[in-house]
Amino acid sequence: MIAPTSHTEGKDFLFPIRVYYEDTDLSGFVYHGQYVAFFERGRSEALRAAEITHSKLLTLDPPAVLVVRNMEIDWIKPAVIDDLLIVRSTIETARGARMTMRQQIERNGEVITKATLEAALITKNGGPRRFPPEILQILEAWIDPPTP
């Protein structure tokens, strides 16, 4: 099966990832730390789709970077070599210098890994930096709050 291209479903951004040999460990399953990289790719591409790139954040005055402050992962089922996975990324909140996001990795429509995270916008010196209004406005258009 040829991997589909990235796309949106409502306010979710879906990014395909193929599992390669280099993603697996001795067990033949995807190494647990590799899921963090998969989530990072999905998150970066979701922000890129919203026209918020890391290089654009560096052009702010003062320059800023988006860093993960907290992440909680629930590994439900393992992925294996040649699996075609979809990383689904959804922005839940964005205010001040923080953004929360939920992400999940799906295989054939089944959720195999879930994550929630909080990211912070900081200056290159490490101090917090509020999202500029124009970026906050873009993020707010993508927000899909969690259902109770």
- pLDDT band of residue 145 (cuts 50, 70, 90) is confident
CATH of the domain at 37: 3.10.129.10
Which residue among the candidates 25, 74, 82, 144 is catalytic per the annotation?
25
Is 111 a domain residue? yes
Of the candidates 134, 131, 18, 115, the one whose C-alpha atom is nearest the C-alpha of residue 76 is 115
18-37 mean pLDDT: 96
Confidence of residue 3 (pLDDT cuts 50, 70, 90): confident
Strand 84-95: give its sheet, edge to edge.
7-9, 12-18, 84-95, 98-107, 110-123, 64-75
Residue spans of alpha helices (H) in the chain? 34-49, 54-57, 133-142
What total number of domains does the chain contain? 1
Check residue 144 and give its pLDDT: 85
| pLDDT of residue 94 exceeding 80 | yes
Q: Is residue 103 part of a domain?
A: yes
User: In this structure, is residue 23 part of a structural domain?
Assistant: yes
In a domain, 147, yes or no: no
Lookup: tokens for 11: 């306010």
Q: How many CA atoms lie within 13 A of 46 on its CB side?
A: 29
Residue 83 catalytic? Answer: no
Which residue segment(s) compose the domain that 30 sits in?
Answer: 7-142
- Structural domain contains residue 148: no
